[in-house]
Amino acid sequence: MQYVFGTGGIHAARSGCYEKSDNLKIKTVDVSSYYPNLSIKNNLYPDHLGSVFCEIYQDLYEQRKKTKKASDENLALKLALNGTYGASNDQYSPMYDPKFTMSITINGQLLLCMLAEKLMTVDGVQILMMNTDGLEYSVSPENENVTVSIS
């Protein structure tokens, strides 16, 4: 499977059609607000805004977690979180900071690759797809509850 690393994220897909069965389980790993959380948890912020940026970003994320998943309020907060990150790569935005953008993107890609690498050490695991904030993999039923961790 070919992995494509870009300035917006990572993308990969194994060709074919995969369906769960008694002998094959398909698991999805999707990180909620992945890029905003990378900023918050790693204290990454646009230099001109200072570390208070992460405190405010954290507050927005906490507000989002308290809202109903498909609600207008949840969508607005999701767009505020993700749009802020996206604006950091727009030279005409007051959020513009290429170092911040690439710090988030590169760390996110590497963490997903590390997760995929760990998953592939489990017998019967095959990575099917990877995108900016998650991945899908197939696994044999006897190993579907095996956990891995990255550090």
- CA distance to 33, 126, 146, per residue, from 42 (Å): 14, 30, 27
Instruction: Report pTM.
Output: 0.86
- Residue range 96-131, pLDDT digits in tens: 999 999 999 999 999 999 999 999 999 989 999 999
pLDDT in tens, 34-79: 999 999 999 999 999 999 999 999 999 999 999 999 999 999 999 9
Least Cα distance to 3 among 105, 109, 86 occurs for: 109
Please give the angle made by the CA atoms of 111, 116 and 7, to the nearest 5 degrees. 45
pLDDT at 8: 83
For residue 140, pLDDT over 90 is answered with yes
The DSSP H or E segment spanning 4 is: strand 4-5
